[in-house]
């Protein structure tokens, strides 16, 4: 079930969080995630996906998403680190992400992380059968802009179930009443990716890591949500 996969993905993030200390490499977190997935009897949804080389994504500071864990990438006090975990269980996928500071960081980065999380929470008001994806994007974008931050437009949330990425696409911007319609029992991953600066991105030489062009910091929060007749249920 997607519900089970989502629960395991969230547990893995919560357990990895405990290892987020000054001096640890992102590769050590990758190794820990392999161990945790094994223990929980789930597989990575990312490894091998379109050739992605690792089990999880770890994106630090101005990296937005799809950061590849590396031996030489050492986390240090003040960094903000997004961890994205996708797993497969019995043919069903779960996907979630969150961003955490290493030790003490600047107040504005804490705010950035909170706004990503709260943009997700606020968007749930627009999640019910018959609503449209534009209603979700509208809330995320407006909420984010209120704090002077911007949304990343190149990446979006997505449907999820027997595949990691299904229709519809859930952009983090939009217009009320526009976009694809949401149906009862559909499951979607809503994932605000926001940044301090313009929100424009570029992809690094490794072909994966998305970074902000202006090298301003970015935060990511993601959860899967089951669409119900008059509302929704957060699955992780």
Nearer to Co ion, 105 or 158 (CB): 158
187 part of the interface to Co ion, by CB under 5 A? no
Rounded to a whole number of angstroms, the minimum distance from the CB of residue 191 to ligand MF3 is 6
Q: SS3 for 7?
A: helix
37 touches ligand MF3 by CB under 6 A: no
Per DSSP, 51 falls in state: G
Binding ligand MF3 by CB under 6 A: which of 30, 40, 52, 115? 52
Pick the closest to residue 119 from 212, 195, 13, 11 (CA basis). 195
Q: Is 57 in the site for ligand MF3 (CB under 6 A)?
A: yes
CB atoms within 10 A of CB 129: 16
Residue 196 touches which of ligand MF3, Co ion, none (CB < 5 to 8 A by kind)?
A: none
63 counts as binding Co ion under rule CB under 5 A: no
Among 84, 98, 141, 196, contact with ligand MF3 (rule: CB under 6 A): 84
How far is residue 172 from each of residues 48, 191, 192, measured CA to CA in Å?
A: 26, 7, 6
- The correct pick among 7, 8, 66, 216 for binding ligand MF3 (CB under 6 A) is 66
Identified binder of ligand MF3 from the candidate list 14, 39, 41, 49, rule CB under 6 A? 49
| Least distance (Å) between residue 22 CB and ligand MF3 | 26
Q: 77: which 2 tokens?
A: 């006090």
Of 91, 92, 105, 86, which is closest to residue 20 (Cα–Cα)? 105
Residue 69 as a binder of ligand MF3 (CB under 6 A): the answer is no
Residues 6+ apart with CB under 8 A from 180: 132, 133, 167, 168, 169
Q: Is the CB of 69 or the CB of 192 nearer to Co ion?
A: 192
Question: Toward ligand MF3, which CB reaches closer, 217 or 221?
Answer: 221
Contacting Co ion within 138-177 (CB under 5 A): none
> Cα 86 from chain centroid?
10
CA–CA gap between residue 186 and residue 58 (Å, rounded): 28
Residues that bind Co ion (CB under 5 A): 95, 189
């Amino acid at each position: 079930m997607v519900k089970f996969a989502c629960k395991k993905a969230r547990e893995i993030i919560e357990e990895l969080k405990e290892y987020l200390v000054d001096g640890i490499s992102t590769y050590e977190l990758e190794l820990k995630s392999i161990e945790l997935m094994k223990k929980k009897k789930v597989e990575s949804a990312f490894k091998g996906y379109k050739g992605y080389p690792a089990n999880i994504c770890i994106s630090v500071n101005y990296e937005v998403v799809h950061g590849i864990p590396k031996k030489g990438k050492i986390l240090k006090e003040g960094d903000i680190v997004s961890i994205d975990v996708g797993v497969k269980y019995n043919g069903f996928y779960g996907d979630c992400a969150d961003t955490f500071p290493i030790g003490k960081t600047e107040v504005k980065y804490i705010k950035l992380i909170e706004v990503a999380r709260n943009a997700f929470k606020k968007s749930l008001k627009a999640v019910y059968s018959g609503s449209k994806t534009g209603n979700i994007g509208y809330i995320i974008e407006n909420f984010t802009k209120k704090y002077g931050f911007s949304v990343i437009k190149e990446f979006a949330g997505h449907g999820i179930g027997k595949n990691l990425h299904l229709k519809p696409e859930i952009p983090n911007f939009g217009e009320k009443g526009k976009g694809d319609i949401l149906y009862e029992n559909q499951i979607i991953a809503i994932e605000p990716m926001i940044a301090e600066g313009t929100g424009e991105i570029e992809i690094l030489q490794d072909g994966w890591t998305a970074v902000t062009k202006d090298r301003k910091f970015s935060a990511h929060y993601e959860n899967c949500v089951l669409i119900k007749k008059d509302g929704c249920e957060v699955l992780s």
